[in-house]
Structure formats: structure tokens, C-alpha cells
Amino acid sequence: MKLAKLTLGAALLSGAATAALADGHAKELHFIMCGGEVRAADQAVVDQFEADFDGVKVNLEAVPWGTCQDKSLTLAAAGDPPSIAYMGSRTLRQLANNDLIVPAEINPETPYQPGVLNTVTVEGTAWGYPHAFSTKGLYINCDIVEASGQECVAPATWDAMYDMAKGVVDNTDSAGVGLAGKDFDNTMHQFLNYLYSNGGVVIDSASGKNMLDSAQTRETLEFYGKLVDVAQDGPTAWERDQLRDLFNDGQIAMYVSGPWGYGQHNEDINQIVAPVPAGPSGESGSILITDSIVVFKGSGHEDLAQELAKRITSGDSQYDLDSSWGLTPILDYAKLGKDDLYYADGIWPTFTSSISTGGPEPLVEDFKSLQSVFTNMVQGIILQDDTVDNLVTIAGEELDDAL
């Protein structure tokens, strides 16, 4: 893909700043890159960075996701922190609360998409530079829907979605919808897609206040429980990637996933992707999830690390990541002078339209505790272990403990 030249990264670094940061002494920045690979675009940024700062060397270490975040945390806790790391934004509160990272120096003129900075912000302070971003949509197999005698039109509301799913169940051998309920992080993510489409809030990003115990959450949990009647058997045994397999096998008519899902589905499926339907108290939204670049405290050259973080999350480097990985655009590239935008048509309007109405993956110190809050609540309604009211009340109390 031909890229138009973007100048934001260059603009962030003036000649005066270069002189101020380069002090003539050899310095090595340890850069941990979660994911197990170094992209050519990232390497190009690092190479230019080393060329701009005489005596500076960047040790770029790619580490698989399974061990990467633990490695960064262990090094930092032991007093030998990496200079900089690419990791899940879900770790930011833990890192910040333990005084292991420094706030991100984000240029206020950087045109992030609405809501993106909320994914890295704790009580008003941004702790990471957002670097990879996703929203979600509802994938629908039109062949199954039409075989049930219905028109394959995107449902705008929960009621319309349920009616379509019920029609599939009543008139075909397929389930109407794929529902995630396994003890896994995307059970929480799937639920939050519906909660944010119903005007719900989990944690207020400015005050840090717990907002989960609400009428919107009760409506959402009630709907999730209602979907069990038109879902695949045993939702507590399934997570999102397994729902993709059911979709490919024609066993479910619809499920929620990210933009990458379109290319992962069988070519012979007549599919459409629609916004997550709106609940009775909100408008269509999505969970907003990012990974980010963080600058660790105690390396002795946080200033250089900040500069590298700014470069790798801007300009051509960031656009290359978004477009090549098939991610929702993290920046408004039109404002940076980019034309021929990859997300201007096709499925992309579905995934960009929900940015402004979406909500962030909640930031807590112990992510597994947060995951348990939602898993317990969702599994409770799927298995009919308790009432909606009690389950939400308990979840609110458990979130207080997690915070």
C-alpha cells in the first residue's frame, strides 16, 4: 500500500529537542516488544532514531505475548526496568500504582479518535501512548438468515436482533447467535459491547468511580440471559475465537468480533457486518481496546524513551500498523494530511462509527479480578444461578474490591 508522507512524527522533534536529548554519552535503550516480532516499520523508526541520536543504541527485543508482560513487570520490580515496552493497556493501572512507569507526554494536538485516550487514562493521567486499537461489530450469515425466511437486514435494536435470532432457531438447524461465557477475558469484552451499546459505564475515567451497579447493567445482563434461548448449546464452554469457528461451520447465524473477523470467515459465506445493536437506554457502541507504548521509570534516560515512544506511535509507522494489521484507525489520519484512507469504505464505517459511542476496557490493578467480576456475573445469568438484580449488585461490590 502506498503511503502518503505524514509529518507528525517529525514535527514532534525539533532541532533544539535533538540537541537537548543527545548528551554525547553512549546510552542503550532496552525496548521490549510484545508479540514476538519486530515489524519493518518499527525497525525503520528505531534505525532513524539511532541515526538522530549519536551514541544511542536501541536493543529491540521481541517477546511472545504469553511471557512478555510478566517479563517487563519482573525486570521493573527488580530495579532493572526496560526503557520502553509495547504491551496491553490493561496493565497500566498496575504499573502506575506501583510507581514503575512515568506519565505519557502526549501532544494535545495529536488527533486521536474519540475515546482512545480513555483506554490509557487513570483518573485524568495518561500512562501510555496508544498504539493498536480495535472496535467490534455484529457479523451476520445472510444465507442462514434468508433460509429462515427473513430478510438479511442489520438489526438496529436488541429486540430486532433477538427476533432475527429466534427466527433462525425456529426455522433452521442453526443457532441464532454465538454467545461467549467461558472463563476468559473476551467473555467480559463481549458483555461490554452490549453494555456500552446501552449507555452503561464501568469506571468513570476522570474520577475512578465504580459505575457498574446501574440500571443499564441490569438491562444488559437481562438481555444476555435472554440470548441464551437462541444461542449455541452451553455458552459457558465457548470463547470468541471458537464462535468464529461455529460461524464458519454454519452453526450460528451471528456473533460479535473485530474487523479482522471479515477475512477469517470462509469465502463462500454471504456475510454482512453491522454495528452492535442498541439497547433500550443507549445507542450502538463498542468496547474500545488498545495496546500501548509505555515508558518505564528508573532507566536513567526516560527523556529518550519518551521521544522514541512518540515517534513509533505517530506518522507512517502508526499508519502502517493500523492498515497492515487490519485495525480500527487509532488516529484521524485525514487531519494529518493522509488521503486514500484504507478505512474509508467497505466494512470500515461500521467499525469507525462506534468509536465515539464506545467505552474503554476498564483499567484496574489486577486484571484477573476484573475478569472474574464479569465472568461470575455472566455465567450466573447463563446458568440461572441468581437473579439479575443480585448478580449486578454482587458484581458492583466485587468491582469495589478490585479497585
Q: How far apart are the first and last CA of the chain?
A: 44
Residue ranges of the chain assigned to CATH 3.40.190.10: 8-133+290-359, 137-285+364-402
Tell me what pLDDT residue 11 has: 37
Number of helices (H), then strands (E), belonging to the chain: the values are 16, 11
Distance CA(46)–CA(34), nearest Å, equals: 16
Please count the CA atoms within 13 angstroms of the CA of 399 that sit on its side-chain side: 23
Tell me what pLDDT residue 7 has: 38
In CATH terms, the fold of domain 137-285+364-402 is D-Maltodextrin-Binding Protein; domain 2 (3.40.190)
Phi, psi dihedrals of residue 329, rounded to the nearest 5°: -60, 130
Query: Among 348, 369, 313, 351, which residue's Cα sits nearest to residue 134?
Result: 351
Maximum distance among all Cα pairs of the chain, rounded to whole angstroms: 74
Residue 208, classed as helix, strand or coil, is coil
pLDDT in tens, the chain (403 residues): 333 334 333 333 333 344 334 444 468 999 999 998 898 999 999 999 999 999 999 999 999 998 998 999 899 989 999 999 999 999 999 999 999 999 999 999 999 999 999 999 988 899 999 999 999 999 999 999 999 999 999 999 999 999 999 999 999 999 999 999 999 889 999 999 999 999 999 998 778 899 999 999 999 999 999 999 999 999 999 998 999 999 999 999 999 999 999 999 999 999 999 999 999 999 999 999 999 999 999 999 999 999 999 999 998 999 999 999 999 999 999 999 998 899 999 999 999 999 999 999 999 989 999 999 999 999 999 999 999 999 999 999 999 998 8
Q: Specify whether the backbone of 285 is left (phi greater than 0), alpha (psi in -120 to 50) or beta.
A: beta
Q: What is the 3-state secondary structure (H, E, C) of 75-116?
A: HHHCCCCCCEEEEEHHHHHHHHHCCCECCCCCCCCCCECCCH
In CATH terms, the fold of domain 8-133+290-359 is D-Maltodextrin-Binding Protein; domain 2 (3.40.190)
DSSP assignment letter at 257: E
What is the grid cell recorded at 302? 526516560
Angle at 289 between CA 157 and CA 319, to 5 degrees: 110
H helices within 8-151, ranges in order? Answer: 8-11, 15-21, 40-52, 65-77, 92-97, 142-147
Tell me what pLDDT residue 66 has: 87
DSSP 288-318: EEEEEEEEBTTSS-HHHHHHHHHHHTSHHHH
Contact call for residues 352 and 328 (beta carbons, < 8 A) = yes
pTM (two decimals): 0.90
Alpha carbon separation from 61 to 35, 39, 76, 164 (Å, rounded): 10, 12, 15, 48
